[in-house]
């Protein structure tokens, strides 16, 4: 509704074969298609985080594809991810009222946010090995090895 109200040309993923070529936004309306879309994106706006009943989306997922993310205020179920993305400057939390400004901020200097997504993902690499090492140490200390 927002895209229609703002007269922004868009197409739904489920209807992409009928594109006219003037669309500025691809609206994903199908499950399991996001990774494909992320690989072709410069910026991701996770719409499910703008409505309170949808509980947000995984905001780290676009970062895995080196794509910065804009997300809304309704991220109650992912507070740690919000903190990590904002701290790394790999995305912006915004609202319907400020989303245009957030998009301008990104496109004024896209490289900065793209580099931040890379740094954020690199920072998290090796978590499984670190966790296993901690578990192994603690199991050994407690005589459970």
Q: Establish how many alpha carbons lie within 13 A of residue 115's alpha carbon, considering only the half-sphere containing its beta carbon.
A: 4
The DSSP 8-state label assigned to residue 47 in this structure reads G
Statement: residue 135 has pLDDT above 90: no
The DSSP 8-state label assigned to residue 76 in this structure reads G
Token pair listed for 53 = 């009943």
**Region 28-34 average pLDDT:** 85
| pTM of this structure | 0.75
The pLDDT tens digits of the residues spanning 89-123 come to: 999 999 999 999 999 999 999 999 999 999 999 98
**Region 75-93 average pLDDT:** 93
Q: Is 13 helix (H, G, I), strand (E, B) or coil?
A: helix
Judged on CB neighbours under 10 Å (0-12, 13-18, 19+), 44 is buried
Looking at the DSSP bridge assignments, the partners of residue 44 are: 69
Query: What pLDDT band is residue 144 in, cutting at 50, 70 and 90?
Result: low
Statement: residue 143 has pLDDT above 80: no
User: In whole angstroms, what is the distance from residue 142 CA to residue 40 CA?
Assistant: 49
């Amino acid at each position: 509704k927002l895209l229609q109200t703002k007269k922004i040309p868009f197409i739904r993923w489920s209807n992409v074969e009928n594109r006219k070529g003037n669309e500025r936004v691809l609206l994903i309306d199908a499950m399991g298609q996001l990774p494909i879309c992320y690989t072709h994106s410069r910026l991701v706006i996770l719409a499910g985080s703008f409505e309170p009943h949808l509980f947000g989306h995984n905001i780290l997922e676009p970062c895995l594809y080196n794509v910065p993310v804009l997300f809304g205020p309704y991220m109650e179920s992912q507070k740690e991810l919000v903190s990590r993305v904002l701290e790394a400057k790999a995305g912006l939390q915004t609202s319907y009222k400020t989303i245009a400004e957030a998009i301008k901020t990104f496109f004024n200097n896209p490289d900065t946010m793209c580099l931040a997504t890379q740094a954020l993902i690199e920072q998290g690499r090796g978590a499984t090995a670190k966790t296993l090492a901690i578990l192994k140490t603690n199991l050994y200390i407690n005589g459970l090895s």
